[in-house]
Structure 1
Amino acid sequence: MMKPNSCSRNDINKTKILFCITFLYSHQRIKYLFEVLSAASEWGSEHIDCIIYTETNDQSSINSIYNICEKLVKKNFTISISNHQDLLSRPRNLSWCHKNKIRECFYDSKKNYTHFIYTEESTRITRLNIEYFIEFWDKLRPYGLLPGLVRYEYNDKEMDIFNIDQNGQQNISDKARVMAGDFEFVSLNVPYSGSFIIDSRDMNEYILSKSFSMKDSKEVIPWGRPERASMGLTWEKIPQFFPSRIVIPLKNNTTTPDPMSWVHHLPNSYTNDYNDGPNYILGKTRMSAIFQDIDQPLRAWRIASCFCLSTGEKIGLEKVAIIYDSVPYFREKPILVAADEKFINEIKLTNQRIEKEAYEFQDSVLFKLKDLFLFGPVLYPILNSKICILEESYRRNDRSFVNAPTFLELFNQKIYDEENLEGVQKIFIGSAGSLNYGHWITDDFPRLEAVYYIREIYPNHHIQIILNSFNPHLDKIKEEGIMIYLDKINNFSIKFLDNKILFNIKNIHYVTPVGFHPYIKYPSALRKLHHRITLNIHKNRSRLLFVSRQPPNTRYLVNHKEIEDILSFLGFDIVTINGNSFKEQVESFHSADIIVGCMGASMSNIVFCKKSTEIIMLAPEGWVEPYYWDLASVMNLNYSAIYGKVNDYSEPTHLRSYEIDTSILMKLVNEKLSSIQYNKK
């Protein structure tokens, strides 16, 4: 498969577009086709290949299409006709013919298209629409949303613009919104426009989705056949709180969709049809009246991302520094062993999908927020004079694990004000996984690097590090780790806040995430963590380590005693991490040549291992968890996993206790011992 074109999308002049139009031939509608083509010829793209799909078998009709096309063709704007006479008896299938062209062109690296656009012959897409899509595709990506289009017609009687796909007025107070640039984006009840645009970086997802298939798309939504052909990714991977993946921008301080998202349905037929028929309800809602009064209390979410907004004093958000860059990395194929070959194949397919998909994430950046409310790990900043929930603190993959009250619920609670002292710089370090030691290690701990940046900017200020408190033991472990990480920083303090109380904090720093659980991590962040923590750690003699997991823990190793005895005989040190200090854990992992361990939070300590350490992970069969393999890959460790038989299937997959076949474990351990030529001392 081709690698998506990496040219800049901020300049429409650098776009290369495949543009497909469905034209069920009608002599009366050729004028609309000409308007659509004429608008496309003025997009200003580097190159556009336009294909018109029609079903007519009449040569004079085909000639009439060629006649209008030849007037618009130029070097960087080609037009061709794809004739499907076989569909004369099945014209509703014509709208699906372009899918084969998508597959052909976006698997062909020579074409190098940046975008695909589809429309019907009567819906005009303008340069403004393309510029809007390019700008806000990037800004909406952190939310998992896509910029949509809204069809309109001109009503002769009312002398006004009417939307043709929404039936009646919609209650905006119940709709989740996101902030992007200077706009709020909101969903529509009917996210249909008879057209769609796809960035090439989303094309692989689209081709593999059910929405790409005429047959399978019926399982996605029961629309008509032509309507399903133009839905693109509307109904794929829908983010929580949204009815679809499509959102549209509102003009500032109004409920009217911004004109940059408008596309004209040229016949103006629905809005001017007052006959008692099925089309009567369409085109009867003014564009300015799709949504009710914007001053209604917002009962749903308003979500904002640090990366989707302008910055500045007025906005309430200041970009301070880039802490870590996000770069792709290579993952070695792991050694996987289980009795069930189907399960092993499932893991391999998951790993292959992770490897093939092109994940592009924002750098990890230090921001300063002027005013926010903090509830647990979730930030509610005041941005552009509006309260929001910060996307980076409440991401799609975190939402099922985090309690984040709605705005109305939030302010029914007592608010505790944190002191805003002069000469004190505050920074919050936390995430949805902060209550778990493993997630603290990989998701939160590396963000402490921002403290070094703050110290450089404010050399004489006190720095207060704010964290959520979950339990005394974990708090103590975190505090010990922070003191080691910041051994070159003076004049700072650590403050733990109750995670069930609402706090108001002014002028606080926040570092955006350094990964996306479970399979995206930032190598520069984890390697910096490894360097700072292990720099002054005492290196014990080379050792073999078994990290056991016993009752009453969930997911415990049923035959742990048998395995402990066998590995102890081979020279392994047997440890259970519970109760160990942070420094003791680091020393144990950093000194090891081979680590056999039960999959769990303590095994996140492999981030402190030396390069090429052998990792043998033990886990219950049925639990597909790429987190540890991914972590081992980032740290250049050799990763193997043995999956054991589960006796009780009543527990959730990731909590089941299991039994490891000792003969399989012994075979793998002996192979690793031979490979490192270990000499027992």
Structure 2
Amino acid sequence: MAAVLNRLAPYIKSNEYLSNPIKKALYNYFYRPNSKIIKIFDIDRCRQQAVQKIFEKSNFKNYLPKRLNTEERCIETDVPEVFIYQFEDAYISIASSAIWVKDHLITYRSKGERFNEGFVTAHNNMDAKVVLKETEELEEGFFLGGNGSWNWFHFMIEMMPKMMLFDEKYTRTIFVNEIVLKIPSMQTILEIFTKNRFTVKYLNQDKTYFVKKVYYMNDFNHIQFNRFDGQIKADGTFYNAETIRRFSDKIIENLPEKTGLPTKLFLYRKNTHRIASNQDEIMDYLKEFGFVPVCLEELSIDEQASYFKNAEYIIGISGAAWTNMIFCRNHPRAISFVAENAESFTAFSNLGRIFDVDFHIQLYNNNGLHSDSNFIINFEDFKELFRNINGIQ
């Protein structure tokens, strides 16, 4: 029997056949107890586990980025009801937004969204393949992880604002990705919202945790982490503007402000990915207008916040640095260079609307490789866009 199953293993492990009853049964028999194929439950089917309603269902005006010679457009996006849920005897992975309870994987999905991160190695629309890695048992806590919990944008926009709404009467322990310990800016933000209120438990993203009682809040700010079709789209993007403004205000109130900083910023990239081969040419042109290069990865969070708070103009290549628009208070103009396959990505254009940033994009060709460097930004198109925004003939 084992020899037969070994020959079948590559076949039954493929995504295409996850929901085939026979292959699913064979897989669960052969790979128990370390891996299983289980049914996906949308979290709105778990209302019996809800302990508090946070927000009613609503609609969000999802604004597509402005471009030269194009009309600004928005699409209506459905926002789900938001609850605090309590799950017992659950498995979690700090790198996954899903919760594994009994024989169900509980998660939120927007159209076309893919979430195979952490202990979820594959899924289709009905079933998911989950893997129990090294497992540790925990008593209780509030889950503040998820897909992209290691990323500045997802950490700041999707996860940390939940601390504005979570009541410590449920638990005084929170679970976060241990990568926060390595990133001073994340540490600072976490301390602002947990100091004298919560104990932080840092979870290893290579482990699975069995939690006797875990509290979970579904997203009120949400951006698709990945898609089945590999595209980068507006689908599934929504924000709660009032909460994210209050979140931003609290951070600014708790950070020392730097003064005397330049107000025209070029977000210069180095020692990272997504670097244009002609970014120096653009920077040299902008110096004539008083711009200075700023490498945010070299700055503390209070310096980053101060730069954006006082900025009058921000130009740079798209990336997590644009998350810092939440600190803008000076109604700046902005130009972000965006890959062609991300022209309808609305995460930053919506932040611009919320924080009064006049946000524009210019596309560049990257052959569909979103993170690659050595692409070229069309310099003449940039000058035309820059002159148009500034009323320069």
TM over 0.5: yes
Note the residue ranges of structure 2 that are not aligned, 5 or more in a row.
Answer: 1-11, 123-127, 225-233
**CA pair 547-669 structure 1, distance change in 2 beyond 3 A:** same
Question: Does the 8 A contact of 2:60 with 2:78 survive in 1?
Answer: no
Among 255, 263, 266, which residue is 1:543 paired with?
Answer: 263
The residue type paired with residue 210 of structure 2 is N
Which whole-Å deviations, capped at 9, do the CAs of 1:401-454 have from their partners, x for residues lacking one?
55515888634x442112x2xxxx621111212122122221212112234x22
Among 21, 44, 69, which residue is 1:307 paired with?
Answer: 44
**SS in structure 2 of the partner of residue 319 of structure 1:** strand
Q: CA deviation at 1:395?
A: 8.9
Measured in 2, the distance between the counterparts of 1:366 and 1:240 equals 34
Question: Does the 8 A contact of 1:614 with 1:639 survive in 2?
Answer: yes
The residue type paired with residue 131 of structure 2 is L
Paired position in structure 1 for 2:355? 635
The residue type paired with residue 374 of structure 1 is I
Q: CA deviation at 1:502?
A: 1.3
Measured in 1, the distance between the counterparts of 2:299 and 2:331 equals 25
Paired position in structure 2 for 1:520? 238
Among 116, 120, 131, which residue is 1:410 paired with?
Answer: 131
**CA pair 554-535 structure 1, distance change in 2 beyond 3 A:** same
Q: CA deviation at 1:585?
A: 1.7
Measured in 2, the distance between the counterparts of 1:577 and 1:597 equals 11
**SS in structure 2 of the partner of residue 655 of structure 1:** coil
Taking the TM superposition and a 5 Å limit, the aligned residue runs for 1:158-557 are 300-311=37-48, 317-322=49-54, 324=55, 327-330=58-61, 334-337=65-68, 355-356=74-75, 358-378=76-96, 379-382=98-101, 386-392=102-108, 397-400=113-116, 403-405=119-121, 410-411=131-132, 413-418=133-138, 420=139, 426-451=141-166, 453-454=167-168, 457=169, 463-470=172-179, 472-474=181-183, 476-486=184-194, 490-514=196-220, 515-517=222-224, 518=234, 519-537=237-255, 538=257, 540=259, 543-550=263-270, 552-557=271-276
**SS in structure 2 of the partner of residue 336 of structure 1:** coil
Which whole-Å deviations, capped at 9, do the CAs of 1:340-399 have from their partners, x for residues lacking one?
xxxx98xx7xx85xx34x4322133222222211123334343xxx33212138995242
Measured in 1, the distance between the counterparts of 2:165 and 2:280 equals 44
**CA pair 376-560 structure 1, distance change in 2 beyond 3 A:** same
**SS in structure 1 of the partner of residue 276 of structure 2:** coil
Among 275, 290, 294, which residue is 1:571 paired with?
Answer: 290
Measured in 2, the distance between the counterparts of 1:492 and 1:549 equals 36
The residue type paired with residue 580 of structure 1 is L
The residue type paired with residue 534 of structure 1 is I
Question: Does the 8 A contact of 2:311 with 2:328 survive in 1?
Answer: yes
Measured in 2, the distance between the counterparts of 1:576 and 1:493 equals 33
Measured in 1, the distance between the counterparts of 2:388 and 2:92 equals 51
Report percent identity of matched pairs: 16
The residue type paired with residue 404 of structure 1 is V
Measured in 1, the distance between the counterparts of 2:58 and 2:334 equals 24
The residue type paired with residue 504 of structure 1 is F
Q: CA deviation at 1:532?
A: 1.7
Paired position in structure 2 for 1:652? 369
Q: CA deviation at 1:598?
A: 0.9
Q: CA deviation at 1:472?
A: 5.0
Taking the TM superposition and a 5 Å limit, the aligned residue runs for 1:53-202 are none
Question: Does the 8 A contact of 2:59 with 2:79 survive in 1?
Answer: no
Note the residue ranges of structure 1 that are not aligned, 5 or more in a row.
Answer: 1-173, 175-238, 244-254, 256-291, 312-316, 338-343, 676-681
**CA pair 619-509 structure 1, distance change in 2 beyond 3 A:** same
The residue type paired with residue 207 of structure 2 is I
Which whole-Å deviations, capped at 9, do the CAs of 1:217-245 have from their partners, x for residues lacking one?
xxxxxxxxxxxxxxxxxxxxxx99669xx
Paired position in structure 1 for 2:230? none
Q: CA deviation at 1:576?
A: 1.4
**CA pair 670-359 structure 1, distance change in 2 beyond 3 A:** closer
Question: Does the 8 A contact of 1:547 with 1:574 survive in 2?
Answer: yes
Equivalences, count: 348
**CA pair 579-472 structure 1, distance change in 2 beyond 3 A:** farther
**CA pair 655-439 structure 1, distance change in 2 beyond 3 A:** farther
Work out which of the two has the higher radius of gyration on C-alpha atoms and give 1 or 2.
1
Q: TM-score, normalised by structure 1?
A: 0.45
**CA pair 477-653 structure 1, distance change in 2 beyond 3 A:** closer
Question: Does the 8 A contact of 2:94 with 2:204 survive in 1?
Answer: yes
Q: CA deviation at 1:655?
A: 2.9
